[in-house]
Amino acid sequence: MLRISKFMKFEAEVVVARDVIFENDSLILVHPNLAKIYGLRDGNVLEISRGDKIINLRVKISEKAPENGCLIPNNIFASYLCDTQNFKRFKAFLELSDSKATELEEIIRRLRE
Amino acid sequence: MICTGCSCLCNDVVVNGTRIMNACIKGYRHIAGAKENRSEAKIENRTVSIDEAIEKAIEILKNSRNPIIFGLDTTTLEAQSLAIRLAEKLECYIDDNSSFCLGEIVEAIIKKDVPSTTLDDVRNKAYVVIYWGANPYTSLPRHMSKFTYYPRGEKRPRGYEEDRYLVVVDVRKSETAMLAKKNAKFLKVEKDDELVDSFLLAVDGKAGKFGSEVGVILKEMKKSDFNVLFAGLGLKYGISNMDRFFEMIKKINEKVAPLYLLPAGFHANMRGFNETLFEKTGFVNKYSFREKRSEKEFEFMELLKKECVDAALIVGTDPLKSLPFEIAKKFMKIKKIVIDPKTSLTSKVADVVIPSAISGVECGGKMVRSDGVRFKLEPLEEKEINDVLIFKKILEGV
Amino acid sequence: MPLTPMDIYKLLPKTNCKKCGEQTCMSFAFKLLNREKKIEDCKPLFEEKRYEKQKEKILEILKPLEKATETGLVVNDELCVGCGNCVVVCPIHVEKDPYGMAIGNGPNIDNPILRVENGKVKVCNLSICRRYGKNRILCVVCRENCPSNAISFLEG
Ligand code: SF4
Ligand code: SF4
Ligand code: SF4
Ligand code: SF4
């Protein structure tokens, strides 16, 4: 089961919202329903891609995420994926990844490029 | 003391040595964490004296053809006035977070286009309490317990138990939505516009998509002469036409029952900035002193997008954290001066950093709560160098 | 999940030896949760080697109970955000402090049951909580209105 899901890339709705507890962490909250479908677990790393922008975020399963969707706390990782039209809500492709979560410095480096 | 951790400006916080009583976690971090992550005076990442940093800031502003002053939502009314004076002197743009937050709502309230009220009246009188696109749990932690749903008030002696009706509108089941249990309703919406339409239709006796839910809510509203709607960021981004939303409020007032509108924005003194600029110019944000008007194009984000500014004076806010990547990239290219007591992503990449004092904790002044009530701050100490002093020096210099 | 007497019973020796002063292991489990007995009262559990594993397990599941106060009210510090909902809704607070906590402010009385200190709720004075004492009732008002699910009661 897990092996199959590893190769699966899927599209999901992402909402950006404030969160007191995980404010600056490189986290993505995934709704349990969605997590079940794709066999995701706490601590997995997801590669999130939107157009040519790709980052890795750690998964946290949470009912705070919209049903069948995900939530990224309002931080630089969320902003990185946003554009002006879809400021706080957008669709992105998600895929399990073996790499580590993206670090803040990396985003700043990309900004400087 | 008065907590300046968010726009609730809770006035019952007591500091007893290292014990901080009654403040929520956000307020506690704001007050107790005051000494952490302090910024230092810097020019291009080199540590300098504060005076040198101010000098350099003046030089950048003088040499800039199109500067913008942005932020100001966590500082005092006094500093905001000086910042507006500086913008006037430089004939430049001035804007704050409200232009991509709840500026339109505050503007409608200040201009009295829609009926509004105070949080104290909400506590004493409100029956139906609607949170629309707002999750006070994260942005205004004590909002519900101190002002809206839970407390008992003069005309609502039984508080939430029987004397209030809670409505939460959101795209997801937020923490606030989970509290909508008894005498309450949670409305999960995909498009906020549809709910606005449903209300507008229901007022005229027709049924829209949310017909039955809206019917119940309107019926509850009729039971009282005081209902209130808190508009949050989710509403701003979920709705395509704000005028229709205002029309909805007006129609409910005309045909159903009194419904007051209040912003649920979180920056401690955002409303203060809106009011101060309004007194001076007749506009609440995104104002150009050169053109003497306010325009969508003068929003901080729009100006960056169209590359219309070459320098930015950022006060007490961290735009880099929330700017979309393409715009953040453009922001990186202009000169950036940051006035902030704390380090932030923006201060990390700024050309000049001027450290300041935390308003309400380390220096006094006045602030305006989200409902327009003014408070005189009760700081724990008075630091010599604060936003007011920094602005005075810059004003002298330019 | 609140701890039930059954959870504890399963791990006891189940011999009904009465050394603890109770007629059955089940009634011991009940009293243990009500704090009328201490786990150490079950002598065989501690003295006999064959119960070693069970003993460790029991001590493990009882750990949160140590933190719990007499009425079994525990606040999870990691989850609490200090919103004050629980402080404001508590019926005892409303009755005793009509112009303080009842209207949303910090307490004006000396010994509230719960108060927010350093951003988190602290349990201060459970002796006046409705779950305590002879006429206790199963009040869950504070828990019901906690947006963080930070409050739980340990009970049967
Ligand atoms: S709700 Fe806001 S003002 Fe009140 S204590 Fe919390 S952070 Fe401070
Ligand atoms: S002492 Fe232990 S084994 Fe004996 S009856 Fe009591 S609980 Fe059961
Ligand atoms: S259980 Fe009831 S009486 Fe006890 S603290 Fe909670 S609300 Fe108050
Ligand atoms: S209601 Fe919950 S989160 Fe709020 S103060 Fe009480 S325990 Fe903490």
Does C19 contact ligand 2 (Cβ within 6 A)?
yes
Position A110, amino acid: R
Q: Measure B148 CA to ligand 4 centroid, in angstroms.
A: 16
For residue C37, the ligand closest to its alpha carbon is: 2
**Residue to mutate, B1, B2, B4, B8, ligand 1, most ligand atoms under 8 Å from C-beta:** B8
* C-alpha distances in Å from residue B68, one per residue of B53, B141, B277: 18, 32, 15
Among the partner residues B137, B234, B324, nearest to A79 by beta-carbon distance: B324
B206 forms beta bridges with none
- For residue C41, the 8-state DSSP code is G
pLDDT grade for A3, boundaries at 50, 70 and 90: very low
pLDDT at B197: 93
Instruction: Give the tens place of pLDDT for each residue, B271-313.
Output: 999 999 999 999 999 999 998 999 899 999 999 999 999 999 9
Q: Is the pLDDT of residue C70 over 60?
A: no
Q: What is the pLDDT of residue B256?
A: 94
Chains that touch A (3 or more CB pairs under 8 A): B
Q: Provide the pLDDT for residue A12.
A: 87
Instruction: Give residue limits of the domains in chain B.
Output: 38-100+268-397, 103-263
CATH code for the structural domain at B38-100+268-397: 3.40.50.740
Mean pLDDT of C113-120: 94
pLDDT at C64: 67
In a 10 Å sphere around its CB, with 0-12 CB exposed, 13-18 middle and 19+ buried, how is residue B327 labelled? buried
Chains in contact with chain B (at least 3 beta-carbon pairs closer than 8 A): A, C
Residue A5's pLDDT is what?
47
E strand or H helix at B176: helix B175-178
- The pLDDT of residue A89 is above 90: no
- Which residue in A has a C-alpha nearest to residue B319's C-alpha? A76
Domains of chain A, each with CATH number or no CATH: 11-112 (2.40.40.20)
Å from CA of C73 to ligand 2 middle: 27
**CATH ID of C5-67, from 1.25.40.10, 3.30.420.40, 3.40.50.300, 1.10.15.40:** 1.10.15.40
Q: How far is residue B30 from each of residues B35, B173, C106, C119, measured CA to CA in Å?
A: 9, 27, 18, 10
Confidence of residue C155 (pLDDT cuts 50, 70, 90): low
Alpha carbon of residue C30 to chain centroid? 13
In the DSSP assignment, the letter for residue B318 is: -
Buried b (16+ CB within 10 A) or exposed e, C77-90: eeebbbbbbbbbbb
- At residue C56, the 3 state secondary structure works out as helix
Please, which residues have CB within 8 angstroms of residue B106's CB and are 6 or more apart in sequence?
Answer: B98, B263, B265, B270, B271, B274, B284
Assess whether the C-beta atom of B119 lies below 6 angstroms from ligand 1: no
Which of B146, B179, B181 lies closest to C84 in CB terms? B146
pLDDT of residue B207: 82
The residue among B385, B386, B378, B388 whose CA lies nearest residue B9 is B378
Beta strands A89-97 and A45-50 are: antiparallel
Tens digit of each residue's pLDDT (9 = 90 or more) over C74-116: 888 888 999 999 999 999 999 999 999 999 999 999 889 999 9
Q: Does A33 touch chain B (CB under 8 A)?
A: no
Q: How many Cβ atoms from other residues are within 10 Å of residue C14's Cβ?
A: 12
The ligand 1 atom nearest the CA atom of B8 = 3
User: Residue type for B296, please?
Assistant: K
List the structure tokens of C78: 């990691």
The whole-number pLDDT of residue A1 equals: 43
Confidence of residue C59 (pLDDT cuts 50, 70, 90): confident
Using CA positions, which residue lies closest to atom 3 of ligand 4?
C80
Q: Does C147 touch chain B (CB under 8 A)?
A: yes
CB contacts < 8 A, B to C, total 100
Q: What is the model's pLDDT at position A67?
A: 82
Ligand 1 pocket: which of B30, B142, B358, B375 to mutate (most atoms within 8 A of CB): B142
Find, among B282, B287, B270, B278, the residue nearest to B236 by Cα: B270
For residue A80, pLDDT over 70 is answered with yes
Q: Are the beta carbons of A15 and B172 separated by less than 8 Å?
A: yes
What mean pLDDT is reported for chain A? 83
**Backbone phi, psi, residue B250, to 5°:** -65, -45
Residues 6+ apart with CB under 8 A from B145: B151, C83, C84, C85, C87, C88, C89, C104
Q: Cβ C118–B20 below 8 Å, yes or no?
A: yes
Task: Note the pTM of the prediction, 2 decimals.
Answer: 0.84
> Rounded distance, CA B264 to CA B250, Å?
19
pLDDT tens for each residue of A29-58: 999 988 888 888 898 999 999 988 899 999
| C90 alpha carbon – ligand 3 mean position (Å) | 5
pLDDT at C156: 38
Could you say which of B28, B137, B145 has the minimum Cβ distance to residue C104? Answer: B145
For chain C, give every domain's residue range: 5-67, 73-153
Q: pLDDT band for position A2 (50/70/90)?
A: very low
Confidence of residue A85 (pLDDT cuts 50, 70, 90): low
Chunked mean pLDDT (size 10), chain B, 398 residues? 96 93 95 92 94 95 94 95 95 92 92 95 96 93 96 90 93 89 90 93 88 92 96 88 94 95 92 95 94 91 92 94 89 94 92 96 96 95 94 93
Residue A8 DSSP class = -
Q: What is the CATH number of domain B103-263?
A: 3.40.228.10
Whose alpha carbon is nearest atom 8 of ligand 4?
Answer: C80
From the CB of C123, is ligand 3 less than 6 Å away? no
Highest-confidence range of B351-355, C50-54, C59-63, by mean pLDDT?
A: B351-355
For residue A10, what pLDDT is reported? 85
Interface check for C21 against chain B (CB to CB < 8 A): the answer is no
Report the C-alpha gap between B210 and B188 in whole angstroms: 10
